[in-house]
């Protein structure tokens, strides 16, 4: 495979961890469209189908997704909500606005490290003296692009109480 073919196979933008690692964000009515994913013990079963639906809605409205920010809210062992950031309301989609102060931290590696990442994130928040209401996960690239970039970055965002 030559460099041109490899570039064509990349669908996710390159992620810059410096913009998200240890950063506090203040969101006011940040706009997302929402979909649901079935999970089995937190493992997504139909994540691709949900992303196809979200992207179809996005493209159909001629909209874009800032930074390709897509948050996952693992509501239970059996269900996850995904929130795709959008630049405007999308007709026919479930439009959601998120507001508040969030703390983000970047991790890199295999998804099987998620449990240790969560413990580290919670310890980091505790050391900063902040309490979290909710945690979101941002899987910054698809597995194919993570392999091509050589990095699998995951951002944990904690909505502060």
pLDDT digits 0-9 by tens, 59-85? 999 999 988 999 999 999 999 999 999
**Fold exhibited by the domain 3-160:** Multidrug-efflux Transporter 1 Regulator Bmrr; Chain A (3.20.80)
| Stated pTM of the model | 0.89
Distance of CA 112 to the CA centre of its chain: 17
pLDDT digits 0-9 by tens, 131-147? 999 999 999 998 889 99
Q: Is residue 157 within 8 Å of residue 22, measured between CB atoms? A: no
Domain ranges of the chain: 3-160
Q: Please give the Cα distance from 90 to 60 (Å, whole number).
A: 9
């Amino acid at each position: 495979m030559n460099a041109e073919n490899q570039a064509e196979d990349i669908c996710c933008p390159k992620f810059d961890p410096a913009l998200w690692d240890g950063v506090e964000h203040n969101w006011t009515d940040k706009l997302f469209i929402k979909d649901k994913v079935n999970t089995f013990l937190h493992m997504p079963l139909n994540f691709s189908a949900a992303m196809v639906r979200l992207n179809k809605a996005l493209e159909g409205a001629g909209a874009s997704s800032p930074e390709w920010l897509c948050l996952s809210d693992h509501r239970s062992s059996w269900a996850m909500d995904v929130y795709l950031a959008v630049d405007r309301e999308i007709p026919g989609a479930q439009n959601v606005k998120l507001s508040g102060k969030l703390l983000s931290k970047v991790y890199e590696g295999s998804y099987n490290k998620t449990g240790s990442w969560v413990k580290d994130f919670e310890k980091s928040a505790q050391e900063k003296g902040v309490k979290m209401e909710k945690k979101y996960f941002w899987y910054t690239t698809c597995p194919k692009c993570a392999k091509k970039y050589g990095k699998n970055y995951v951002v944990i965002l904690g909505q502060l109480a």
